[in-house]
């Protein structure tokens, strides 16, 4: 058994000549959950559709469970991977028949399919709805049915598009608990979300996706705006008193991402070569891995990741005034965004 569930190299997807996805490399280890975090329109759904083998990539190579995806083996490989859409389609029949669909498609007998579907529905707290028309369910229930429908076939790879969007805490909790079991069973999950909190809570690893391109840094400091030229320099205004200096030839609508590991905090403004320095107040503190996530409100929240030692030495506290400093070159710029 290969240790990797999905491996992607040089993957691009273009519609009518416009490239919407450009992933140089991505690998998902078996038995892990990866979160792809990005704003709306960043290419998350396209990425999942391509990974689910529902849409062909324009270029690039996908290796699924050790087998390179080619035209001929797509239907066979689809038996191992299931995508749950953000707004899942319910077949116009009962909830139970929706959940048996994938089992019957795999040649499992009707009786066994019904039994397995019933078990899965029970686990998702939907046993009482088994005979109800699936179309009559609420959005939250439909999301759970769709997840049950996917889990019932016990896929080796599960792809979820915004699994928590629009769900109340109770429904989200059911889904989170269902997902938490999967890595232990050797199953792998890719979930796309625009919510960092969801990504951090569920995933072993978070990657960012902006303008169709993947970044290994999660999108803490992601800002959308318009790049204009001020004093001969490209600048994006991310808050009324916060104009970020950039090193790019791009002008117009764009996204910028500042790696939190490159953001420096100081107790007072300091002279340095860094072109970006803003004063703000500490708005949130959280432990993240070996370091501390410090969120500073400079008109918008900017996250800095500092070591525990630095944090202690600086004696940072909530509400404290600090300067946020980062170099122009540490700001990644992605064109074509929505201002």
Partner 1 sequence: MSWTLDQFIQALRLLGSLDADVFRAVAVSLGMASASTLLAAAAGLPLGLGLGLARFRGKRLLTTALHALMAVPTVLIGLVFYAVLSRQGLLGGWRLLYTRSAIVLGQCVLALPLVTALAHAATAGLDPRVRRTAQTLGAGRWRTARTLLSEGRRGYLAAVVAGFGRVFGEVGISMMLGGNIHAYTRTITTAIALETAKGEVALGIALGIVLMVVALGMNLVFLRLHGSGERT
> How far is the C-alpha of 339 from the C-alpha of 153, rounded, in Å?
42
Choose, by CB under 8 A, the member of 10, 25, 68, 89 that binds partner 1. Answer: 89
Choose, by CB under 8 A, the member of 83, 172, 182, 323 that binds partner 1. Answer: 83
> How far is the C-alpha of 139 from the C-alpha of 135, rounded, in Å?
9
Q: How many CB atoms lie within 10 A of CB 155?
A: 20
Q: Does 321 bind partner 1 (CB under 8 A)?
A: no
Q: Answer whether 281's CB lies under 8 Å from 321's CB.
A: yes
104 or 250: CB nearest partner 1: 104
Least Å distance, CB 255 to partner 1, is: 27
> How far is the C-alpha of 14 from the C-alpha of 20, rounded, in Å?
6
Choose, by CB under 8 A, the member of 12, 30, 65, 85 that binds partner 1. Answer: 85
Least Å distance, CB 87 to partner 1, is: 8
Q: Which two tokens stand for residue 281?
A: 């107040």
* Locus of tokens 């990005």: 38
- What single string gives the DSSP state of each residue in 182-210? TGGGT-EEEEEES-HHHHHHH-SEEEEEE
Span 14-33, contacts to partner 1 by CB under 8 A: none
Choose, by CB under 8 A, the member of 72, 75, 184, 231 that binds partner 1. Answer: 75
> How far is the C-alpha of 54 from the C-alpha of 49, rounded, in Å?
5
Least Å distance, CB 133 to partner 1, is: 4
* Sequence-ordered list of residues with C-beta below 8 angstroms from that of 8, at least 6 positions apart, any chain: 23, 25, 26, 27, 51, 60, 61, 62, 63
94 or 193: CB nearest partner 1: 94
137 or 206: CB nearest partner 1: 137
Q: Does 64 bind partner 1 (CB under 8 A)?
A: no
Q: Answer whether 258's CB lies under 8 Å from 334's CB.
A: no
Instruction: Count interface residues toward partner 1 (CB under 8 A).
Output: 28
Least Å distance, CB 252 to partner 1, is: 31
Q: Answer whether 162's CB lies under 8 Å from 193's CB.
A: yes
Is 268 exposed, middle or buried (CB count within 10 Å of its CB: 0-12, 13-18, 19+)? exposed
Q: Does 94 bind partner 1 (CB under 8 A)?
A: yes
Choose, by CB under 8 A, the member of 11, 21, 50, 52 that binds partner 1. Answer: 52
Choose, by CB under 8 A, the member of 8, 28, 82, 202 that binds partner 1. Answer: 82
Span 95-154, contacts to partner 1 by CB under 8 A: 101-102, 105-106, 133-136, 149-150, 153
Q: Which two tokens stand for residue 116?
A: 């397995």
101 or 200: CB nearest partner 1: 101
Q: Which two tokens stand for residue 333?
A: 């710029």
Chain residues in the site for partner 1 (CB under 8 A): 49, 52, 54, 75, 78-79, 81-83, 85, 87-89, 91-94, 101-102, 105-106, 133-136, 149-150, 153
């Amino acid at each position: 058994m290969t240790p990797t569930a999905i491996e992607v190299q040089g993957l691009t997807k273009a519609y009518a000549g416009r490239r919407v996805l450009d992933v140089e490399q991505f690998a998902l280890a078996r038995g892990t959950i990866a979160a792809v975090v990005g704003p709306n329109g960043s290419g998350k759904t396209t990425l999942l559709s391509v990974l689910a083998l529902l849409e062909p990539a324009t270029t690039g190579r996908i290796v699924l469970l050790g087998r390179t995806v080619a035209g001929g083996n797509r239907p066979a490989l689809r038996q191992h991977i299931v995508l749950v859409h953000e707004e899942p389609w319910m077949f116009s029949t009962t909830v139970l028949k929706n959940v048996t669909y994938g089992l019957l498609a795999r040649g499992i007998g009707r009786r066994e399919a019904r039994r397995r579907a019933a078990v899965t529905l029970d686990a998702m707290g939907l046993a009482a709805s088994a005979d109800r028309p699936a179309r009559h369910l609420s959005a939250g229930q439909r999301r759970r049915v769709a997840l049950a429908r996917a889990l019932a076939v016990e896929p080796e790879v599960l792809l979820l598009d915004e699994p928590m969007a629009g769900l109340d805490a109770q429904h989200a909790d059911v889904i989170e608990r269902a997902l938490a079991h999967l890595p232990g069973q050797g199953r792998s999950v890719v979930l796309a979300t625009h919510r960092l909190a969801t990504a951090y809570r569920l995933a072993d690893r978070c990657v960012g996706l902006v303008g169709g391109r993947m970044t290994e840094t999660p999108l803490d400091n992601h800002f959308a705006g318009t790049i204009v030229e001020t004093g001969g320099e490209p600048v994006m205004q991310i808050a009324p008193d916060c104009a970020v200096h950039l090193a790019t030839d791009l002008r117009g609508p764009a996204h910028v991402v500042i790696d939190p590991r490159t953001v420096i905090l100081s107790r007072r403004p300091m002279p340095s070569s860094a072109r970006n320095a803003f004063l703000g107040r500490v708005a949130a503190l959280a432990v993240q891995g070996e370091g501390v996530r410090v969120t500073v409100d400079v008109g918008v929240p900017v996250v800095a990741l500092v070591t525990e030692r630095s944090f202690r030495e600086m004696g940072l506290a909530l509400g404290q005034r600090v300067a946020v400093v980062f170099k122009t070159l540490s700001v990644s710029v992605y064109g074509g965004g929505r201002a």
